Amino acid sequence: MKQESKRQLALEYYKAKVLSLGRAAEFAGLSKWDFIDFLSENDVPVIDYDEDELVREFETAARMTERLRK
């Protein structure tokens, strides 16, 4: 399979959540950082949280920040 075809397929598998970031990068024959760049070039978000997940992440970050200040 040609390299570009593998990259595109890895991108689609990643978007569909069939492959993790690391596995998709490996499948594409790229480092994680290069795959992240490839995703960015193709307007695919690396982090794709829904609204509830995002709220939980911010709440967790706020709790952790508060604990560190004590």
pLDDT given at position 48: 78
pLDDT given at position 6: 94
pLDDT given at position 58: 92
pLDDT given at position 50: 83
Query: What is the count of structural domains for the chain?
Result: 1
pLDDT by residue for the chain (70 residues), tens only, comes to 698 899 999 999 999 999 999 999 999 999 999 999 999 999 999 987 888 998 999 999 999 999 999 8
* Residue 38 to residue 59: CA distance in whole angstroms: 30
Using alpha carbons, select from 18, 16, 19, 12 the residue that is nearest to residue 38.
Answer: 12
pLDDT given at position 27: 97
Full domain range(s) for residue 12: 3-69
* Residue 38 to residue 49: CA distance in whole angstroms: 19
Using alpha carbons, select from 29, 50, 49, 32 the residue that is nearest to residue 40.
Answer: 32
Residues 6 or more apart whose CB falls under 8 angstroms from that of 28 comprise 6, 7, 9, 10, 11, 35, 38
